[in-house]
Structures are given as C-alpha cells and as structure tokens.
Amino acid sequence: MSSRDEVAALVGLSRRDAAPGMSASSEHVLQERGFDLVAALFGTPHAAPGALPDAALAMLMHGMILDFVAHRLPGPGSEVLGQEVRFAMDPAVGDKVVVSGTLASRPAEDTAQIVLSVDCARGRLAEGSVLVRLPAEPVTLRPEARPDIILHSHRQLDRLMEGAAHAPAVTAAVAWPCDRDSLLGPLQAMREGGLRPILVGPRAEIEKAAAAAGVSIDGAELREAATPVEAAMEAVKLCRDGAADALMKGSLHTDELMGAVVSREGGLRTARRISHVFAMDVPSYPKALFVTDAAINIAPDLMTKVDIVQNAVDMLRALGNPRPKVAILSAVETVNPKIPGTLDAALLCKMADRGQITGALLDGPLAFDNAISRAAARIKKIVSPVAGDADILMVPDLEAGNMLAKQLSYLANADSAGIVLGAKVPIILTSRADTVASRLASIALARLLAAAKARPA
C-alpha cells in the first residue's frame, strides 16, 4: 500500500532491548495501487478515494500503522495484541505521509505500548496506540523474505475505453465471426452503442455461434460468405467502398484476412507500409505502452521501419499524445556493426533529427530495461528524455516483438488491444486467443482513430 526504499535486512527489538522513549518514523507517498488494493479487497469497482467505503479507507490507514510496527518500531518479530486508532481525515492519492511512533511504556516483561501519529501536509490523518508482544530474541527480516503484491489492474485500457465512449460509433466489417469470442466482442460493442457491425460469413455458422454464446445477432447486418477467404474479400470491399469505417478480424487466420487487405487489386493499401501496434496495459508501468511491429512485418528493412515508427507515432498523436517518446529496442544500448538493429536504430534517430520521421522523440539503440526503467538508464549513465519513459517500443523484428508482447501478457499480466495501421481504414486484428475484453479494447482504439480521422485538420 505504500512504497519503501529500504533494501537492508531489518532487525527488530527484543524484550531486553526495547526501552521507553525509543522513537522512529517512516515516510510513504500514497500511490494509486494502495487504493486499488483495498478496492479489490472490498469489491469496489473504482479505486478513487471518494468511491471507497469508510471501512476500506480504515483498512488503508491500519495497514500503514501495522507496516510501521512490523518494519520500524519495534520491528520484525513483534506481535500486535491490540490497537486503538482515531481517524481524523481521509487519505488521498499523492499524500506524503509521515508515520511517527514512540515506545511509551512496558506494561509487562514481554509487551510494549507504542504511541503513533499519521500526518501529511494537509494535517493529521490518524493517531492512536498499539500494544505489541516482543520476541525473546531479535528477529531479522531479510529483503528476499519480504512479500510483494502485484495488482492486476488495467487503468490504461479503461481510460482508452472511457475516451472512446465519447467518440461516434463506427461501422466495422467483421470477417468470419464464427466462434464465441469473435462474435461477442462486436455484439457487445453494438449493444453499448459504439459499433455498427456488418457480420460477413455463413449465416448458419454465425447464428450457431450466437446461440451457443446465448446472444442474439438482431440489429447487426449480415452479409453471406461461404469461406474465410471470401469473407475477407467481401469485408475489405465494404471498407474500400466506404460502407464500413473499419475492418475487424473474426475467427479466420490472420494471413487470410491480410491477403485480402494487401491485394494489389481491390485491397486497402496506401503509400505507407502496413504495420501492427499492440497497446499494452502493463500493471507495473505508469502509462500505456505501445509495441510495434509484432504481427505483420517479419524482418523489416530500414525504410519499412520508418513507416512502422511513423504509423505508431501518428496513432499516438491522434489519441492525444502530442510528442510520443519512441525507444528503438536492441539487445544493447550502443551502436555495434555486428548487430544490424543497432545501426538501424541510429539511422532512425538521425532521420528523425532531419525531419524524415516527424512528431516524436526517438532514441536508440536502447536495451529494454533502459527504455522502461529510469533507474536502469541512470545506472548505465544514459541521458535521454526517452530512456525510462518510453511510450512506443519499436522492436527490431517480428519475432522479438511477438515474444515481447506475449511475455508482457503472460508474465506481467498485461492486457492488450491490437490495431493495424497504414491501410485505408483501421484494422482490428485480434488473436484467436484474445478475450472479449481485449477485443472491446481494440474496437475502442479503432473508434478513437476513426474519430480523429474525421476531425477537420
């Protein structure tokens, strides 16, 4: 619930060491994740302090006090027997809180009474006392023994979807929505007023999938297509003719859909190379992280990378980021002729300096840790406005991007939305393994891009 910077082993007071008059204090900056934690424990949907019940806020305050007792005074090994706390003011995100305590008395040989106060710049939050039982011998708590909590909260995609709720609905041609998840996403978006889906595929299969999912396709337009390839071609035609504002992948294979998109006769090509962007909501990163290209271009050359970067930059600018920070990733942060990606990274940065890539700050090559961690960048003495604060991660090839995105999803509990850029319309390209929530987030992204495109220049 609060951040602690100490890394050394903690040693608690024993019965023979604890003496009245001993005092200590600790400082914490209350962060959103602390409110997220108590919100999750109480089943409250939003972690904003105003939305939390009094009992949840009391738990937050008790947690700070118990943290002080367990780690400061008396420290590890002490057992809380009772506490009396009086609350004066609700805590708030961003409060710099000082917890102060004094060992006031020793009621018995094995106990101690700690008097505490909790203050911030706004005033006193709480005060009270805690009765603890002391251990017979000092107890040491080593750093590796301290547990950590990672909350699976996805505030970034929530904000994206909240922003999309104010954008006009889009018409999307959905190619081959013949299973539960590929059908539920567009239908739920339709029910919420954000999407007008045109379902392209065999009516019998689509109705069968809808019945299995317990939903109705009433209100959605349906175009008959006998095969996935035929559905892809018809969906692309709808977009090319202006009948649809976006293209959405159903349960067909990506190459079946993209074959129709890149067809030289009747496709959706533009002068720009087509590329894919993952919008990743990583619980441990303070903002949305965009990974490109992890799905379309296998081994892009320099000029393809120019389009990949520019596509992602233009998207973030359309979403409201006036100058995105782009980290060109490699295994190292120095230019090495034996690693071709480092040469491309250096050239991309120089091209941005000369106006061949516009609207963004670029830096590279940067190793992944330097791109997303200011601490790692400081250790390696990298001075850069991008290092440790990247918005966009530009990967050297599809393999690296695909592995990175899936590692973030499966090891870091990231949620994602996927979009293909550089075509005449946004393409909602989801994986067959994606959840309905991920599909809804991808639809929201396309909705925001369509709204940005419709705005006068």
Which domains are present in the chain?
Answer: 10-145 (3.10.129.10), 155-454 (3.40.718.10)
**Residue whose C-alpha is closest to residue 203's, from 181, 233, 186, 183:** 183
pLDDT in tens, the chain (457 residues): 333 334 567 899 999 999 999 999 998 888 777 777 777 777 665 555 556 777 778 888 888 898 899 989 999 999 999 999 999 988 888 888 999 999 999 999 999 999 999 999 999 999 999 999 999 999 988 765 555 545 555 578 888 888 888 899 999 999 999 998 889 989 999 999 999 999 999 999 999 999 988 999 999 999 999 999 999 999 999 999 999 999 999 999 999 999 999 998 889 999 999 999 999 999 889 899 999 999 999 999 999 999 999 999 999 999 999 999 999 999 999 999 999 999 999 999 999 999 999 999 999 999 999 999 999 999 999 999 999 999 999 999 999 999 999 999 999 888 899 999 999 999 999 876 777 778 888 999 999 998 888 777 6
The set of residues, in sequence order, having a beta carbon less than 8 Å from that of 139 and lying 6+ positions away, is 11, 12, 14, 75, 76, 77
Q: What is the pLDDT of residue 143?
A: 64
CA torsion sign, 185 to 390 to 371 to 308?
A: positive
**Residue whose C-alpha is closest to residue 54's, from 120, 4, 126, 6:** 126
- Six-digit token pair at 401? 């991007």
Q: How many CB atoms lie within 10 A of CB 438?
A: 22
CA torsion sign, 255 to 244 to 447 to 457?
A: positive
Angle at CA of residue 16, ends 10 and 18, nearest 5°: 60
What are the b/e assignments for 65-97, b being 16+ CB within 10 Å? Answer: bebbbbbbbbbbbbeeeebeeebebbbbeebeb
Q: What is the pLDDT of residue 110?
A: 96
CA max distance for the chain: 89
Give whole-number Cα distances, 49 to 3, 93, 285, in Å. 18, 8, 21
Q: What is the pLDDT of residue 4?
A: 38
